[in-house]
Amino acid sequence: MNPIRIAILGYGNLGRGVELACAANPDIQLVGVFTRRDPSSVHPYGQDVAVWSADELAAHTDEVDVLVLAGGSATDLPEQTPAAARLYNVVDSFDTHANIPEHFAAVDAAAREAGHVAVISVGWDPGMFSVSRVYAGAIMPNGADYTFWGRGVSQGHSDAIRRIPGVVDARQYTVPVPAALEAVRSGANPELTTRQKHTRECFVVAEEGADTAAIEEAIVTMPNYFADYDTTVTFISQEELDRDHAGIPHGGSVIRTGTTGKDGENTHVIEYSLKLDSNPEFTGSVLVACARACARMAAAGEAGCRTIFDIAPALLSPLTGEQLRATML
C-alpha cells in the first residue's frame, strides 16, 4: 500500500506536532511544509521534508493526498481552510467553538464545489472531547454533562496577560477545582458556577520597576478572562519562567453522570480524561489520524465538510477491519 502523502500549512507548535505524528505512523508520509514566512527560515525536523512558500499552494496538488492546516484559529483558519479546500483534501483544528457552524458552511461550500473532503475542528476540544460528549449523551439521555479543563496552559489567557503594560512575559494555567471534580464523579449532579469549576494560576514576569499591584489588579479584574474566576498571580523572573514553565501541557475530563432504572435508582458515571505533556503534539496526533480518515473518505468518492461526528472509528485506525474485530472489539 502506498503511504498517505501529507503536507502541512503553517509550521508553529501544532505544525511541529503534526510532523512528529507523521513520523510515528508508517502508513503516513510527510512530503512538505508550506509557510507564509521565508521558506529558508523554516526548518522541519525531517531532512527530506520540502519547505514551500504558502504562495505556491496550488503548485503541489499532485504530490499531496491531504493538506493538514496548522495555523491559528483566530485569523488564519477562517481564511486558509476554505481556500485550501478548493485545492486539496484538508484537515484543520479550528477551535473557536461558537464559530464552528459558520466555518463549516464556508468550508463545505468550497470542498463540495471542488470535490474534496474537508475535516474541520479536530484535536481534543473540539475533537476527542466532542465525540465523548456525543457517545455519552446518546446512551444516557437522563443525565448532565460536565467538562473540566486542565491543569494546563491556556495560550489565549497567557497572551491576554502579556498585553498588560509592564508585563514582559506570562504563563497562565487553568486548574480544575478538586472538590468540584469529586462532586461530579460522585454522581451527585451538582450545579456548578464558572468560579466553582476552575481556578486560574498566573506566573508573570514584570518589567524592572513596574507597579506589580496594578498589574495584578488588571489581571484579576479582566472581564471574560479572569473576573469570573478565583485567580492567583505570582511574579517570577524570566529565568524561572523559562526553566519551570516552558512546556505546553494540557488536558481535562469530559464527564456525563446520569441515571437509569424505573425510578432512576441506578447512577452511572462516564468519564473520558486526558493528561497531556504536550498539547500541540497530542493535537497533531489527532489531526494525523483524521488525515488518514480524510484520505479514505476521499478515495471512496465523498466530498464536502466533515467533523469528528461523521468519522467512523475504523476510518481513523491503521488496522484493517479484520484486525480491529480480532483485537479491539
Residues near ligand NDP, by CB under 6 A: 10-15, 35-37, 54, 70-73, 93, 95, 123-127, 279-280, 283
Please say whether the beta carbons of 250 and 279 come within 8 A. yes
Least distance to ligand NDP from the beta carbon of 174, Å? 13
Q: Which residue has the cell 496526533?
A: 285
Report helix angle 279-299 to 13-23, nearest 10.
60
User: With respect to ligand NDP, which residue has the nearer C-beta, 122 or 184?
Assistant: 122
Q: What angle do CA 34, 11, 76 make, to 5 degrees?
A: 80
Hey, what's the cell of 155? 495560550
Hey, what's the cell of 46? 525531517
Q: Which residue has the cell 473540539?
A: 126
Least distance to ligand NDP from the beta carbon of 126, Å? 5
Least distance to ligand NDP from the beta carbon of 275, Å? 15
Least distance to ligand NDP from the beta carbon of 168, Å? 18
Please say whether the beta carbons of 254 and 129 come within 8 A. yes
State residue 15 phi and psi, 5-degree precision: -55, -45
User: With respect to ligand NDP, which residue has the nearer C-beta, 215 or 276?
Assistant: 276
User: With respect to ligand NDP, which residue has the nearer C-beta, 11 or 148?
Assistant: 11
User: With respect to ligand NDP, which residue has the nearer C-beta, 174 or 283?
Assistant: 283
Whether a cis peptide bond, with omega within 30° of 0, leads into 313 is no
Least distance to ligand NDP from the beta carbon of 68, Å? 11
Q: Which residue has the cell 484559529?
A: 73
Cα separation, 190 vs 186, in Å, equals 10
Cα separation, 324 vs 327, in Å, equals 5
User: With respect to ligand NDP, which residue has the nearer C-beta, 14 or 316?
Assistant: 14
User: With respect to ligand NDP, which residue has the nearer C-beta, 91 or 222?
Assistant: 91
Least distance to ligand NDP from the beta carbon of 125, Å? 5
User: With respect to ligand NDP, which residue has the nearer C-beta, 15 or 150?
Assistant: 15
Q: What sign for the dihedral angle of Cα 271, 264, 196, 186? A: negative
Of 288, 319, 287, 302, the residue nearest 127 (C-alpha): 287
Least distance to ligand NDP from the beta carbon of 171, Å? 14
Least distance to ligand NDP from the beta carbon of 11, Å? 4
Residue 220 CB contacts under 8 Å (≥ 6 apart), including other chains:
226, 227, 231, 233
Hey, what's the cell of 182? 469529586
User: With respect to ligand NDP, which residue has the nearer C-beta, 94 or 229?
Assistant: 94
User: With respect to ligand NDP, which residue has the nearer C-beta, 57 or 233?
Assistant: 57
Least distance to ligand NDP from the beta carbon of 115, Å? 26
Residue 286 CB contacts under 8 Å (≥ 6 apart), including other chains:
93, 122, 123, 124, 127, 128
